Chain A
Amino acid sequence: MKNEWPLWEVFIRGKHGTSHRHFGSLHAPDAEMAIKNARDVYTRRNEGVSIWVVEAEHISASAPSDKGPLYEPSNAKVYRHPSFFDIPDDVGAM
């Protein structure tokens, strides 16, 4: 067993106006076949209107152990949320 087809990650736009969402992965020799296979594997029942594929090895991901240091700084910045500011009711909708 050698020469295994590379792994592709599949992203599908469910319907017009929504963004592509990760759906799953599959093996294919190239991008063209990956899209054809994704059509057969992931959209047999009208699940999508557009397919993206990208070779899995080209995806970089944050490590689960980075969760703290990576996201902690923004947790301290509560003023990023609109609810931080008290606006009098008299001002009306804002």
Chain B
Amino acid sequence: MYAQVVESTGKSVKSPEEMSEKERAFQARIDAGEKIEPKDWMPDDYRKTLIRQIGQHAHSEVVGQLPEGNWITRAPTLERKAILLAKVQDEAGHGLYLYCAAETLGVSRDDLTEQLLSGRMKYSSIFNYPTLTWADMGAVGWLVDGAAIMNQVPLQRTSFGPYSRAMIRVCKEESFHQRQGYDIMMKMANGTPAQKAMAQDALNRLWYPSLMMFGPSDKNSVHSAQSMAWKIKIDSNDGLRQRFVDQTVPQAEYLGLTIPDDNLRLDEETGHYEFSQPDWSEFNDVLRGNGPCNTERLNARNKAWNDGAWVRDGLMAHAAKKAAAKIAAE
């Protein structure tokens, strides 16, 4: 989801007979619930798929700062501003935990950064949508972080140790994000008619992009099976999406807001909601780079990286100078 379409290198799941002895032993460890650690032997495809997945996840956290950073200077009160600042700082932290997890697989931080900046690696489609009003800060926390939690809680059990540990830290902090978002929505929904309309508008615009976060439908998700066998993907895309809808609809009702879906209906027998799928052609278009903000987001990341070059170089030069002075003094 934060890693929506991770292309695996394997074709289909290997049967035990097709595996080498090492691969069989590796799969047995995963089946037994053991964690794989960076120095352990692992199949090349496991390593490559994980680098893509954790990398996409990290990039999403980092790019995810942009739509919310957009409102820091315009938050309605000093308290809201401080809260939003803390939330955005958390996202930077989450990106760093994840980059570090990816680096244990042998890819460098600069290499990952370079792949994001050149557009070769993706980030979640959700961050290519604009945040037009203050209510969007509420809807992003409530829906986007809510969807993220749905995906990240099971990933705490993922087979790769560093990824699992990063997810545990992230999940501890994520619930603050969702609650601060819902708190904004409650304020807006119980405010003036204009404020309530603003909250409804935010829900209208962000509902389907939030559903897209879980990735394509399972029947069109060609890369899932091997990842699930390796326990680097725990739940199916459709399963998570259903869980998200089931959880979120009552929350919208509590706010007195309407989910923008005429087909939404609770199936009394199953206890699950029936709902409309998002527009998958729009999803594919956004992934291809044609969303409302793709260019803006990548330009912002490139500008930050380029403008920060002198700081990175300057601090390295200063560290080298200090180290040299220390040696001279000894």
**Chain A residues in contact with chain B, CB under 8 A?**
1, 3-5, 7, 24-27, 29-30, 33, 40-41, 44-45, 61, 63-64
Query: Given contacts A29-B315, A30-B319, A44-B90, are A24 and B40 in contact (CB under 8 A)?
Result: no
Closest to A31 in B: B319
6 pairs from A and B in contact (CB 8 Å cutoff): A1-B113, A1-B114, A3-B312, A26-B96, A29-B319, A33-B319
Contact indicator A4/B100 (Cβ below 8 Å): no
Inter-chain contacts of B319 with A (CB < 8 A):
29-30, 33
Per the bound structure, the CA–CA distance linking A89 and B165 in Å amounts to: 45
What band does the interface of chain B fall in when counting residues whose beta carbon is under 8 Å from A?
A: 20 to 34
Chain B residues near A7 (CB-CB < 8 A): 103, 109
The winner among B109, B111, B113, B166 for most chain A CB atoms within 10 A is: B109
Is the Cβ of B109 less than 8 Å from the Cβ of A24? no
Interface set of B (CB-CB < 8 Å, partner A): 37, 39-41, 86, 89-90, 93, 96-97, 100, 103, 108-111, 113-114, 165-166, 169, 173, 312-313, 315-316, 318-319, 322-323
Q: Which residues of the other chain, B, contact A61 by a CB distance below 8 angstroms?
A: 39
Among residues of A, the one whose C-beta sits closest to the C-beta of B97 is A24
- A1 contacts which of B41, B93, B110, B173 (Cβ < 8 Å)? B110
**A25 to B169 CA separation, bound complex (whole angstroms):** 13
Residue of A nearest to B305 (CB): A1
Shortest Cβ distance from residue A31 to the other chain B in the assembled complex, whole angstroms: 9
Kindly report which residue of chain B lies nearest to residue A10, judged by CB atoms: B100
Q: A4-B110, A41-B97 are in contact. List 7 more A-B contacts (CB 8 A).
A: A7-B109, A24-B100, A25-B100, A33-B315, A33-B319, A40-B93, A41-B96
Tell me the complex Cα distance, A40–B91, Å. Answer: 12
Residues of chain B with a CB closer than 8 A to A1's CB: 110-111, 113-114
In the bound assembly, the distance between CA atoms of A33 and B318 in angstroms comes to 11
Nearest-Cβ distance from residue B317 to partner chain A, whole angstroms: 9
- Smallest distance from the beta carbon of B262 to chain A beta carbons, Å? 43
